[in-house]
Amino acid sequence: MNFLITGGAGFIGSHLSERLLQQGHSVWAFDDLNNFYDPQFKRNNLRDLQALAKPFEFCHGDITDRAALDDLFSSVRFDQVIHLAARAGVRPSLIDPALYQRVNVEGTVNVLEAARTHGVKKVTIASSSSVYGLNSRSPFSEADVVSTPVSPYAASKLACESLGHVWHHLYGMDIAMLRFFTVYGPRQRPDLAIYKFAKLILAGKPIPVFGDGSAARDYTFVTDTVDGILACTQRELGFEVFNLGESQVVTLSRMIELLEAALGKKAIIDRQPLQPGDVHLTYANIDKARKMLGYDPQVKIESGIERFAAWITSGKI
């Protein structure tokens, strides 16, 4: 099949592209290589994908540019679209909320409309655990009411979920919304905590820890996230929302301990106040994904951190 992956040069997108290519599919990666973080990370990902000598095409473009999307959809008959492109991160969204709405909301409308007008019926879209906001119930279930986002980023992802439902309802498109939970692993974005902490620990510099270290996350290894995405591409779902997490909770302090052990070096802790927009806990109920997708995450945090540490110390980045 022909797959279009928006954000295909990024962290999750490159892993997904690689897996689809290995399965014999053709992949087009649409990415603007913006400067949210050093574009060389994405160029390295593209180099690795192109080295596979598989049917892979990189398309440099911006999802806010509807004409560019239409040109691409007019030139290639796509079987499915996997929409990962977005401005990411809670804290940066507080600085430029309008950018997050423009890229994440308007950009998603552009992708959905391009797919609709060119006859692509199946679209899988990345959402985020951040939509749960100040949810008082845990673990978080897709059946929970999500009406309390606490950052512009979370609000933009919640809007994307609503848009997915609208395009399913009006046009009969098959759309899955996937709520990712703190994805990590090789090729991780450098702005994310595990990567930043590892680099600072290796350099002997202090790591900024917001709060007392008790905040907890449902860390999900990237290969497990990719498994969940691929499961959606293989099923007719109508419209569904799925949590893709490990369904295990790890405190910030414990994550740092695991990094110290894997890197063989102690961290220097720089305590800082809690940040606006942050939540204390993310914790996925994955019963629905297990039942409907056969989703079964395999990589526990201890193994995942070791694999991440091996990558970041390999000299390949």
- The pLDDT tens digits of the residues spanning 83-117 come to 999 999 998 999 999 999 999 999 999 999 999 99
- Does residue 62 fall inside a structural domain? yes
- Does residue 215 fall inside a structural domain? no
In the prediction, which pLDDT does 280 show?
Answer: 85
- Does residue 293 fall inside a structural domain? yes
CATH number at residue 164: 3.40.50.720
Which residues are CB-contacts of 215 (< 8 A; sequence separation ≥ 6)? 251, 252, 278, 279, 280, 281
Averaged pLDDT for residues 8-28: 98
Partner residues linked to 270 by β-bridges? 208
CB 298 within 8 A of CB 235: no
- The pLDDT tens digits of the residues spanning 27-81 come to 999 999 999 999 999 999 999 999 999 999 999 999 999 999 999 999 999 999 9
Higher local confidence (pLDDT), 316 or 299: 299
Partner residues linked to 273 by β-bridges? none
pLDDT beyond 90 at 276: no
Written as one letter, the residue type at 150 is: V
Of 285, 275, 153, 172, the closest CA to residue 218 belongs to 285
User: What's the rounded Cα separation, in Å, for the pair 155 and 148?
Assistant: 9
Share of the chain above pLDDT 90, in %: 91
When pLDDT is cut at 50, 70 and 90, the band that residue 275 belongs to is confident
- Does residue 101 fall inside a structural domain? yes
Averaged pLDDT for residues 122-137: 92
Of 125, 50, 33, 117, the closest CA to residue 78 belongs to 117
Lowest mean pLDDT among 160-174, 207-221, 269-283: 269-283
Give whole-number Cα distances, 95 to 10, 156, 236, in Å: 22, 14, 39
If one counts the domains in the chain, the total is 1
pLDDT beyond 70 at 317: no
- Does residue 60 fall inside a structural domain? yes
Here the tokens at position 86 are 């977005």
Average pLDDT in the chain: 95
- Does residue 256 fall inside a structural domain? no
Higher local confidence (pLDDT), 184 or 133: 184
- Does residue 316 fall inside a structural domain? no
Share of the chain above pLDDT 70, in %: 99
- Does residue 172 fall inside a structural domain? yes
pLDDT beyond 70 at 291: yes
User: What residue numbers bound the domain in which 82 lies?
Assistant: 2-181+222-245+283-297
- The pLDDT tens digits of the residues spanning 215-266 come to 999 999 999 999 999 999 999 999 999 999 999 999 999 999 999 999 999 9
Catalytic residue positions? Answer: 153
pTM, two decimal places = 0.96
